[in-house]
Amino acid sequence: MAQYTPMIQQYLAIKKEYPDTFLFFRLGDFYELFFDDAILASRELEITLTGRDGGGDERIPMCGVPHHSADGYIAELLKKGHKVAVCEQVEDPKEAKGVVRREVTRVITPGTMMEGKWLTDKENNYMAALAALDGRIGIAACDMSTGEMYVTSLLGQTEAALDEALQYRPKELVFFGFDSLPKTSLPSTVVESQQLDAFAVDSQYPEAGKELDVAMRAAVNALLYYIGTTQKRSLAHMRLLKRYDSKQYLQMDGFSRRNLELTETIRDKTKKGSLLWLLDRTQTAMGGRLLRRWIERPLLGRAELDARLDAVEALKSDLLLRSDLRTCLDNVYDLERLAGRISYGNANARDLIQLRLSLEAVPELKRHLSQTNAPVLQELAQGMDECADLVSFLQAALVDDPPISVREGGMIRTGYDEYLDKLHSASRDGKTWIAQLEQSEREATGIRSLKVGFNKVFGYYIEVSKSNIANVPAGRYERKQTLANAERYITPELKEREALILEAEEKMIELEYQLFTAVRSEIAGHIPRLQSLAERIASVDVLQAFATVSDERGFVRPQFADDGEYVIVDGRHPVVEAVLEREKYVANDVRMNQDSRQVLLITGPNMAGKSTYMRQIALITVMAQIGCFVPAKEAKLSIVDQIFTRIGAADDLVGGHSTFMVEMLETRHALQKATAKSLILLDEIGRGTSTYDGMALAQAVIEYICQRIGAKTLFSTHYHELTGLADTMKGVVNVNARCEERDGKLLFLHKIEEGRADKSYGIHVAELAEMPVWVIERARSILAGLEAGSQATADMQMSLETLWSAPVAAVREEPVSLLSPEEEEILRDLRELDLNATTPMDAMMKLYAWKQQLKKR
Ligand code: ADP
Ligand code: MG
């Protein structure tokens, strides 16, 4: 068997260490991929697959991308959930004996991206780890780009733990200690126990690490291990470890979050149309990310909420102050990610300038904040470290507008380094001497058109047009290049000056780079200060965003009640209201409490506004519990510990479970977890099964919630038979989405009123949908039959069997056809037609006759 070339052997040895990545193997100006990597990558990236002779029996599949445009390709692979190992030449090819030494310098994975260009400003880029240990599951999530790390643990329920991890919308998951992995479509990595360094957490987080339980420790360790093996660089900026208990916050499961469209819409999974979209009037990327976190984790503590609301109130009432603040915030760049890049060592001089500009905005920001009378804002301001030392350091060290590349020079300000300044003046002097040369040589030679120029190949030269060559001083000028109508010369003096200039420039660039990295490491020593400043600025930004949107949309400050009262006067759905353009949103009230009005049973036809009303109430609760004003005229709310939303599903099959099964599983989950302080929204539960079955279940669920749980519940249903419950069960109250019939048509008023819907309007809705008249008429007659046949159905105690037999028999009496008499006739004709006895002409005639007949209709 043939032997692979040494380079391919080297490739294979490295690839063995990184089997689950695309190995980008540096070859000169390209990154090349080989073997299966090449085949797959050529497909994923739509680049040409070629081959290379590698000494084996067959040509090796290969494809490559230029190193300067590799980023785009890497981003593409990451987006598809792949990992990329970047393998560089780590010695100078000129000095190499044999194959150039190569090493993987970094593994880039979807969860460990750092570069601004791959990230979305207002979104964190999390990766999460789940670690099962001692009956608990630890969940840790970190964002490498900002340095945040969060950790919690729960009693071992895999599903709940995964739900918690998924709240971060991680790009990647790491698992430790699971016998079987939970199902997820995210890129996942399993860490084995022998890989874990049990003490990694202590060295990364000497303080906060001590407070973690074993499951939390394992989760953080798993993340640190994974980051360590992929990044191979300083993680100094990862200093913020925040431990929390999910019970500190208003809890919502993944389903409820999605259903309420908190951060993205259900339909197209975009931010636009979500609560986040509506509230996002933040000016900074950090603020944008914090807002998202606040929305995902509403609070339970009244003091904390009132503090936020005080701040919003103060800012809402002072338009001038708010606009000043917004202007200041506009000058603040993404401090968290800047800090991340600075300590990671990939920040350039422009990043440091952005840092400086951001810091320069702080004193004014503080001044504005201290004018307010809200204690939180004053406190936030007082704690802001202006980092004046860093500002003056950066001002002294760097020019205002440095180039992007850190290898070109032009970054360091004059006066910062004496030697650099000397080199500068040497180069400058040389250039002045050359600039003056043109004048002096013109005078010496008498050639008025003589020019001094520069090109990359020959350096500086003196150019004389052909017509003046006779006047060139032969001994002093040396001919270097001939052009069509000119000659170029050099002189020994000119070359001497040129050498000095070039030498100075080369030294300058090297020195600048050294000085720059020193500046960057100096700043890197202050990361915690920058991070804490960033946090404060982000909070101010979110609070001003709340104030801005509250002012613009006429939101009011919610009050909190301790006695279970829950009253909203003229509440609106904030997002529906915002997207309804000219049509005005119809405001609605809610009155609930802990005894007489605990379950609102909402009846009304489809499209009447039931679901919107329910979501509006949940959203108002969430908004109040993140400290924002709410869309209402008045709101007095009890603090809610959990929100459950469940939507009845139609009965089709998805993934082996009928959706009705899913509906029941989810409802069970809500019934298990809810407390008297929870808010439950059940939207047409029981719809996915037969009518009586569904009604019976719905009633039982309401009874259970009312008698056993005591949670505030909104239950919408189109079974208006259920409204009878209000008469027999304390705490259940009927409300209905009002509709009016005008000229036999249905008008939706979107107004929720007390009392039950007088009847069901399904057929009207079908009519609105322009169902064939035949269907509408037929449905009306069937309904009449049903209503006559089951007088007693209002009484739910009646046996289901009797209910079934009566109406169904009534329906079956007359056979039904969906075709018109003409159509029936044509069909009959067609059936009877003897093709063997039909000429083409006859057939044509028949077709014509049929068409005429159909046209008549
Ligand atoms: P249901 O759940 O009763 O079938 P929806 O809540 O889905 O009805 O509402 C149907 C439509 O009516 C929604 O698309 C919404 O745009 C509109 N709507 C609902 N409530 C209101 C309201 N209060 N004011 C104005 N339009 C509303
Ligand atoms: Mg609905």
Q: How much is the pLDDT for 791?
A: 46
| Cα-based angle 278, 279, 284 (whole degrees, multiple of 5) | 120
Nearest atom within ligand 1 for CA of residue 604: 3
Specify binding-site residues.
604-611
Nearest atom within ligand 1 for CA of residue 752: 23
**Which residues, given as ranges, of the chain have pLDDT below 50?**
650-656, 791-815
- Find, among 316, 269, 237, 212, the residue nearest to 629 by Cα: 316
Ligand 2 center from residue 272 Cα (angstroms): 21
Residue reference for tokens 């590349």: 405
Which protein residue's CA is at the shortest distance from atom 15 of ligand 1? 609
Say which ligand is closest to the CA of 607: 1
Nearest atom within ligand 1 for CA of residue 584: 25
Say which ligand is closest to the CA of 608: 1
Ligand 1 center from residue 675 Cα (angstroms): 29
Ligand 2 center from residue 610 Cα (angstroms): 5
What does the alpha-carbon distance between residue 201 and residue 191 come to, in Å, rounded to a whole number?
A: 15
Ligand 1 pocket: which of 607, 646, 718 to mutate (most atoms <8 Å of CB)? 607
Phi, psi of 376 (to 5 degrees): -60, -40
Helix pair 527-553, 285-296: axis angle to 10 deg: 70
Ligand 2 center from residue 843 Cα (angstroms): 52
Say which ligand is closest to the CA of 589: 1
Q: How much is the pLDDT for 790?
A: 54
What residues have CB less than 8 Å from 718, skipping those under 6 apart?
A: 603, 604, 605, 606, 684, 687, 760, 762
- pTM (predicted TM-score): 0.84
Ligand 2 center from residue 612 Cα (angstroms): 7
Ligand 1 center from residue 45 Cα (angstroms): 45
DSSP 415: T
Residue reference for tokens 């977890």: 673
Which protein residue's CA is at the shortest distance from atom 23 of ligand 1? 586
What does the alpha-carbon distance between residue 143 and residue 114 come to, in Å, rounded to a whole number?
A: 9
Q: What is the number of alpha carbons within 13 Å of residue 340 lying toward its C-beta?
A: 25
Ligand 1 pocket: which of 683, 748, 750, 753 to mutate (most atoms <8 Å of CB)? 750
Binding pocket residue ranges, ligand 1, CB within 6 Å: 576, 585-586, 588, 604, 606-612, 737, 750
Which protein residue's CA is at the shortest distance from atom 17 of ligand 1? 609
Q: How much is the pLDDT for 836?
A: 85
Nearest atom within ligand 1 for CA of residue 751: 23
Say which ligand is closest to the CA of 750: 1
Using H for helix, E for strand and C for coil, what is the string for 340-365? HHHHHCCCCHHHHHHHHHHHHCHHHH
Which protein residue's CA is at the shortest distance from atom 5 of ligand 1? 609
Which protein residue's CA is at the shortest distance from atom 16 of ligand 1? 576
Say which ligand is closest to the CA of 614: 1
Specify binding-site residues for ATP.
604-611
DSSP 267: T
Nearest atom within ligand 1 for CA of residue 605: 3
**Do residues 143 and 233 make contact, with C-beta atoms less than 8 angstroms apart?**
no
What does the alpha-carbon distance between residue 251 and residue 534 come to, in Å, rounded to a whole number?
A: 27
Q: How much is the pLDDT for 547?
A: 98
**Do residues 74 and 97 make contact, with C-beta atoms less than 8 angstroms apart?**
no
Q: How much is the pLDDT for 688?
A: 67
Nearest atom within ligand 1 for CA of residue 614: 6
What does the alpha-carbon distance between residue 339 and residue 322 come to, in Å, rounded to a whole number?
A: 27
Ligand 1 center from residue 613 Cα (angstroms): 8
What does the alpha-carbon distance between residue 667 and residue 650 come to, in Å, rounded to a whole number?
A: 15
Say which ligand is closest to the CA of 605: 1
What does the alpha-carbon distance between residue 716 and residue 854 come to, in Å, rounded to a whole number?
A: 46
**Do residues 362 and 384 make contact, with C-beta atoms less than 8 angstroms apart?**
yes
User: Biggest alpha carbon distance in the chain?
Assistant: 125
Q: DSSP letter string over 143-179?
A: ETTTTEEEEEEEES-HHHHHHHHHTT--S-EEEES-S
351-395 per-position pLDDT tens digit: 999 999 999 999 999 999 998 989 999 999 999 999 999 999 999
Phi-psi region of 565 (alpha: psi -120 to 50; beta: other; left: phi over 0): beta
Ligand 2 center from residue 252 Cα (angstroms): 20
Using H for helix, E for strand and C for coil, what is the string for 451-503? EEEEECCCEEEEEEEHHHHHHCCCCCCEEEEECCCEEEEECHHHHHHHHHHHH
Q: How much is the pLDDT for 657?
A: 53
Ligand 2 center from residue 761 Cα (angstroms): 14
**Do residues 520 and 342 make contact, with C-beta atoms less than 8 angstroms apart?**
yes
Ligand 1 center from residue 609 Cα (angstroms): 3
Ligand 1 pocket: which of 582, 612, 684 to mutate (most atoms <8 Å of CB)? 612
Phi, psi of 543 (to 5 degrees): -65, -40
Nearest atom within ligand 1 for CA of residue 583: 25
Ligand 2 center from residue 144 Cα (angstroms): 41
Question: 722 vs 594, 649, 672, 796, 832, CA distance in Å?
Answer: 21, 19, 23, 9, 53
